[in-house]
Amino acid sequence: MKKRSILSMLVVIALIISAALPVLAEDVIKIGGIGVLSGKYGMYGLAVREGVDLYVKQINEKGGVLGKQVQILWEDTQGNASEAINAYLKLSDMDVVGYIGAVLSGESKALAEVTAEDGVPQISPSATDYDVTTGRPNVFRTCFLDPFQAKAVAEYMAAEGIKKVAVLYDNATDYSNGLYEAFKAKSEELGVEIVAAEAAAYGDTDYKTQLTTIQNAKPEAVFLPYYGADAALILAQAKELGLDVNFYGADGIADIVDYVADKSVLTKVVYTDHFSTDAQSEIAVNFVKAFEAEYGKAPTISFSATGYDAAVVLLAAIEAAGSTDAKAIVDAIKATNLTAVSGNITFDDHNDPIKSIFFQTFDGEGNKFFLKQVDP
Amino acid sequence: MNKKTKSLSLNLLATLALYLLITVLIASGAINNYLANIIITICITIIMTSSLNVTTGLLGQLALGHAGFMAIGAYVSALFTKSVALDFGLSLPLSLLVGGLVAALFGMLIGIPALRLEGDYLAIITLGFGEIIRVIIVNLDITGGPRGLTRITRMSRAFSDDRLLSSIIAFTFVFTITALIIASIFTLGRSRHGRAIISIRENAIAAEATGIPTTRYKLLAFTVAAFYAGIAGGLFAHQTSIIESRMFDFNKSIEYLVMVVLGGMGSITGSIISSIVLVSLPELLRGMDKYRLIIYSVLLIMMMLFRPSGLLGTREFSMIRLWERLEVLWKRIFRRHEAQTKMPFQPRYDVWDDKPVLETHSLGISFGGLTAAEKIDICLMNDEIVGLIGPNGAGKTTVFNLLTGVYTPTEGQVILLGNPIQGKMTHQITADGIARTFQNIRLFKSLSALDNIKVAFHSRMQYSPISAIIRDAKCQSEERGIDIRARELLRVFEMEAQADVPAGSLPYGQQRKLEICRALASNPKVLLLDEPAAGMNPSETAELMQTIKTIRSQFSVAILLIEHDMKLVMGICERIYVLNYGRVIAHGTPEEIRNNKEVITAYLGQDQAHTEASHA
């Protein structure tokens, strides 16, 4: 008991010191970056971070915002909702005026819960779940939604003349499930028949049972609402089984290139994206150049672009508001109408962006290949 | 007493001081929202680990699905506060209770079939259970499916419009619940119920033979652990505002298990410390970004290398003394009378003169067609010492197992004090009046000699688990009563000095004596001794003979003993049964047995019989 209290006091003291250290008053505008920066989905957060950091650097070179330099403080959530809340509570005591994040939908909802309590501006560059912004006037995003891209995929398939389609999805993740529901509704409306809808559980690594059922249903294409790591496994197993059709995915599948050994399967993938490095607008071309100069690689994960855009929207709103008052910034974000890297951005009643969508595929070498841009 | 009082005051002060310190720090702003949130996480983690320690540490069963119970509590309690239109200050405690009870119900449901298994099998079942809960949650609509439940009221903001006040109330609420749960685990752990649970960990067979209904106690431990995990889940839901099934997966269960192992299995204070350290550590390392997980893992591995039995092993700092101290204070203030010491354990001196206390009628058992014992007719009169001898494999221990219900007879009857007992559970037969010792000693090794005996008093105590948790007068008077009785028993065997020594550290001869002593504690009418002299030297054997005679006269029991030491058997038994190939081949006085031809050929051998006879 004695030892217990001494120990806990030590811990408390240590925590206080660690929290107090960075709070040295400086004349800067602080924004917070919160999201998954490590683990299975870490690359999405890191892509966001690169985009955001790039814009912060650029704007600081031009004199900053409201005449002050901008400082961005990053916190890793490991994709965990309670960590997202911890990260917010930590940053909120450090004069942070606005937040970019979170990256995944679940952690973004948790973050939205606490930013909404304080009414501080939050822009997620990548949370595609509908509910994130619902009833929270302070929460925005610079990516389009799952239903939006699922509908776009269904329309794209219909335009390609596809009549019979199968779906393989993960019924334990918001992302996969949400895409599937919206895709189902839109395909029925367009007269595209779903001949097989197979669910796998979160964390599965063997999809052969589901793929065999799909193969027996003889679809012309497969809708695969998965992230890249899982999709790579699925495509390799589909090839083994001889299931030779196109696989249509949404934004999450874009990083599949990092997970496949046999790059030839990639030519079978068609997916929707928030951005294409082959986009033709001047701001997009400049962004790709600057990104390559800064990091020595192309912004292949589109969340670098939406992250960059989130920083553009947030900092432009602070400038427009003329102060760091939360309410003023939120109002300014709501009134946003600017041309960003991933297209022109305005916000609808639900704080979702009205913007362009890009269809892409890969060549046999694993390079992204731009197919088509669909504007709102 | 002086030293004890001092340490008690320290305990009491430390808990209060910790609470006041944190409250003041929150109020002054030194502990900001972030730190307050982490402290709440620590409290929730402490509830999880110390409740898991009830199953893994006290009961000694590996449970891999603890997060499943947390999930049930979290979802039930979140749905409760979402759907009930009550003031939050009322609906939150209610929702925790409901969440805990539903989790406890599931604990019981899963426990009934699962706890008949042990070790690896139980671990696999609990693992499967945890995953089943998660999958069910993913597939139900009411739980929000894979997207989880969102917009659950956050307690750190909901108690009051004033943020600081709300934060302090939330901390007070969580701290109080945590302190109460820990205190209850301690008080329960030190009661007859706790001893019963620990005795199962130490030796399940001996526990049953000592009169502990083992299945019921496994279930109790499992249910209590599930109840507390459910409460922790409810707190967690109202801390994070969002719950998803993935938060309660296998990894989460393992995370808590790691904390329990690091703190020391069976040490609740160890669990508390490791919860504090392992929750704070990743937060302290936050600045190191992605390296923090590596550092965290390395520290865990180092811990396991240098302290393999955990921080505290099974040791414990005393909280119970704090509790008792509070009671003393209470009594002083209200001048209540000391609770009476209840002594309900008078030995059964009832007269059973000329009738047999134990008899069997053509008792037998066959295992899948193979007859291990048949047509056994044994009879024990009051206060009689009877021997059961025979060559190895003759079925002597089988007879003991039949008498004590370890095996259910396939034929025949066992009559104890005029009532048939065949078909009853071992612990019931123990309560009815048959106690035994084992061929290979089965003591509860890490319990003290005194506690070994106290476990055996279990079947004659009455106070409930609730009494145990609040340590009411009934509990205290019974505990005081058995403490006196247990020490009396030790005194008879001249082992008072060893009362606090762990049974496993006693010398061999004393372990044998302690086992007999423990058997006597259940107040038997019949005592079965399985090779009591095994491994003893001649002087120890001589002492044992004396002890057995003393037992018979002091405790008024009939004794049936299996023994190979013919000197002992012939020296103290009034009658002897000889067993061969599962049948009684002879029975009579030592003299008759010594001269029985069949016995001589089957067992004694010509020479020995001759020597014994010439000695006599």
Show the 3-state SS of B293-341: HHHHHHHHHHHHHHCCCCCCCCCCCCCHHHHHHHHHHHHHHHCCCCCCC
User: In this complex, do B15 and A5 lie within 8 Å of one another by their Cβ atoms?
Assistant: yes
Q: Averaged over B478-502, what is the pLDDT?
A: 87
At residue B349, the pLDDT reads 46
Kindly state the tokens that stand for B604: 């004694």
A78 pLDDT band, cuts 50/70/90, is: confident
Domain containing residue A238? 147-273
Q: Nearest chain A Cα to B270, which residue?
A: A4
Q: How many C-beta neighbours within 10 Å does residue B513 have?
A: 25
Tell whether A323 is covered by a domain.
yes
Supply angle C-alpha A137, A142, A148, rounded to 5. Answer: 95
Q: pLDDT (tens digit, 9 = 90+) per residue, B206-221? A: 898 888 898 889 899 9
A334 pLDDT band, cuts 50/70/90, is: very high
Q: Averaged over B59-74, what is the pLDDT?
A: 91
Distances (CA, A) of B148 to A32, A69, B136, B480: 26, 40, 12, 51
Grouping H, G, I as helix, E, B as strand and the rest as coil, residue B472 is: coil
At residue A210, the pLDDT reads 92
DSSP for residue B55: I
Tell whether A69 is covered by a domain.
yes
- Domain(s) of CATH 3.40.50.300: residues in chain B: 356-615
At residue B614, the pLDDT reads 43
Enumerate the residues of chain A whose CB falls inside 8 A of the CB of residue B141.
none
Q: What are phi and psi of A341, to 5 degrees?
A: -60, -40
Lowest pLDDT segment from A72-81, A231-240, B530-539: B530-539
A13 pLDDT band, cuts 50/70/90, is: low
Q: Averaged over B48-70, what is the pLDDT?
A: 90
For chain A, the domain total comes to: 2
The answer to whether A264 touches A244, Cβ cutoff 8 Å, is: no
Enumerate the residues of chain A whose CB falls inside 8 A of the CB of residue B157.
117
B203 pLDDT band, cuts 50/70/90, is: confident
Enumerate the residues of chain A whose CB falls inside 8 A of the CB of residue B239.
82
B2 pLDDT band, cuts 50/70/90, is: very low
Q: Averaged over A234-252, what is the pLDDT?
A: 91
User: How far, in Å, CA of A169 to CA of A369, rounded?
Assistant: 25
3-state per-residue secondary structure call for B357-399: EEEEEEEEEEECCEEEEEEECCEEECCCEEEEECCCCCCHHHH
Shortest distance between the Cα of B270 and any Cα of chain A, in A, equals: 9
Distances (CA, A) of B610 to B573, B604, B607, B613: 19, 9, 5, 5
Q: What is the CATH number of the domain that holds A246?
A: 3.40.50.2300
Residue B99 has pLDDT above 50, yes or no: yes
Shortest distance between the Cα of A129 and any Cα of chain B, in A, equals: 9
Q: Averaged over A63-89, what is the pLDDT?
A: 90
Residue B597 makes CB contacts below 8 A (sequence gap 6+) with none
Q: Are residues A121 and A93 in the same domain?
A: yes
Q: How many residues does chain A have?
A: 376
Q: pLDDT (tens digit, 9 = 90+) per residue, A60-72? A: 999 989 989 999 9
Nearest neighbour of A4 by CB, restricted to B21, B236, B273: B273
Q: Averaged over B141-163, what is the pLDDT?
A: 84
User: How far, in Å, CA of B100 to CA of B235, rounded?
Assistant: 11
A1 pLDDT band, cuts 50/70/90, is: very low
Which class for B23: exposed (0-12), middle (13-18), buried (19 or more C-beta within 10 A)? middle
Enumerate the residues of chain A whose CB falls inside 8 A of the CB of residue B286.
18, 75-76, 90
Kindly state the tokens that stand for B365: 């058992």
Tell whether A363 is covered by a domain.
no
User: How far, in Å, CA of A52 to CA of A72, rounded?
Assistant: 9
Q: Are residues A130 and A179 in the same domain?
A: no
At residue B58, the pLDDT reads 87
Distances (CA, A) of A168 to A111, A264, A358, A360, B198: 30, 21, 22, 20, 50
Q: Are residues A298 and A269 in the same domain?
A: no
Q: Averaged over B99-127, what is the pLDDT?
A: 84
Q: Are residues A139 and A154 in the same domain?
A: no
| pTM of this structure | 0.79
Tell whether A21 is covered by a domain.
no
How do beta strands B526-530 and B558-562 pair? parallel
Picking from A273, A295, A316, the residue at the C-terminal end of a domain is A273
At residue B274, the pLDDT reads 87
Grouping H, G, I as helix, E, B as strand and the rest as coil, residue A325 is: coil
Q: Are residues A265 and A322 in the same domain?
A: no
The H or E element spanning position B442 is none
Enumerate the residues of chain A whose CB falls inside 8 A of the CB of residue B284.
14-15, 18
Q: Are residues A242 and A303 in the same domain?
A: no
At residue A23, the pLDDT reads 43
Residue B73 has pLDDT above 70, yes or no: yes
User: How far, in Å, CA of A157 to CA of B424, rounded?
Assistant: 71
At residue B328, the pLDDT reads 66
Greater pLDDT, B404 or B347: B404
Q: pLDDT (tens digit, 9 = 90+) per residue, B169-184? A: 999 999 999 988 988 8
At residue B341, the pLDDT reads 57
User: In this complex, do A113 and B150 lie within 8 Å of one another by their Cβ atoms?
Assistant: yes
Tell whether A4 is covered by a domain.
no
Shortest distance between the Cα of A48 and any Cα of chain B, in A, equals: 16
Q: pLDDT (tens digit, 9 = 90+) per residue, A111-157? A: 999 999 899 999 999 988 888 898 899 999 998 888 888 999 999 99
Q: pLDDT (tens digit, 9 = 90+) per residue, B385-424? A: 999 988 888 888 888 888 888 888 888 888 888 888 888 8
At residue A371, the pLDDT reads 86
Q: Averaged over B528-534, what is the pLDDT?
A: 88
Q: What is the mean pLDDT of chain B?
A: 83
Question: What ipTM was estimated for this complex?
Answer: 0.72
Distances (CA, A) of B277 to B45, B46, B57: 11, 11, 19
User: In this complex, do A82 and B239 lie within 8 Å of one another by their Cβ atoms?
Assistant: yes
User: In this complex, do B14 and A42 lie within 8 Å of one another by their Cβ atoms?
Assistant: no
Enumerate the residues of chain B whose CB falls inside 8 A of the CB of residue A182.
none
DSSP state string for A185-226: HHHHHHT-EEEEEEEE-TT----HHHHHHHHHT--SEEE---
Q: pLDDT (tens digit, 9 = 90+) per residue, B297-343? A: 787 777 777 766 666 666 555 555 556 666 666 666 655 444 555 55
User: In this complex, do B38 and A15 lie within 8 Å of one another by their Cβ atoms?
Assistant: yes
User: How far, in Å, CA of A186 to CA of B214, rounded?
Assistant: 59
Q: Is the peptide bond prior to B232 cis by the omega test (within 30 degrees of 0)?
A: no
Q: Nearest chain B Cα to A176, which residue?
A: B146
At residue A186, the pLDDT reads 92
Tell whether A370 is covered by a domain.
no
At residue B3, the pLDDT reads 46
User: In this complex, do A110 and B240 lie within 8 Å of one another by their Cβ atoms?
Assistant: yes
Kindly state the tokens that stand for A58: 């650029």
Tell whether A337 is covered by a domain.
yes
At residue B308, the pLDDT reads 66
Q: Nearest chain B Cα to A91, which residue?
A: B34
At residue B351, the pLDDT reads 53
A59 pLDDT band, cuts 50/70/90, is: very high
User: In this complex, do B17 and A7 lie within 8 Å of one another by their Cβ atoms?
Assistant: no
At residue B606, the pLDDT reads 54
Tell whether A11 is covered by a domain.
no
User: How far, in Å, CA of B496 to CA of A169, rounded?
Assistant: 70
Percent of chain B with pLDDT over 70: 86
User: In this complex, do B35 and A15 lie within 8 Å of one another by their Cβ atoms?
Assistant: yes
Greater pLDDT, A352 or B556: A352
Q: Are residues A168 and A98 in the same domain?
A: no
Kindly state the tokens that stand for B149: 């439940």
A25 pLDDT band, cuts 50/70/90, is: very low
Give the sign of the dihedral formed by CA B409, CA B410, CA B413, CA B419.
positive
Residue A229 makes CB contacts below 8 A (sequence gap 6+) with A40, A255, A256, A259
Q: Are residues A158 and A139 in the same domain?
A: no
Residue B293 has pLDDT above 90, yes or no: no
Nearest neighbour of A106 by CB, restricted to B145, B148, B236: B148
Q: Hey, what CATH class is B356-615 in?
A: alpha beta
Lowest pLDDT segment from A21-25, B9-13, B482-486, B567-571: A21-25
How do beta strands A368-374 and A357-362 pair? antiparallel
Nearest neighbour of B241 by CB, restricted to A113, A174, A202: A113
Nearest to A8 by CA among B301, B42, B90: B42
At residue B336, the pLDDT reads 47
Percent of chain A with pLDDT over 70: 93
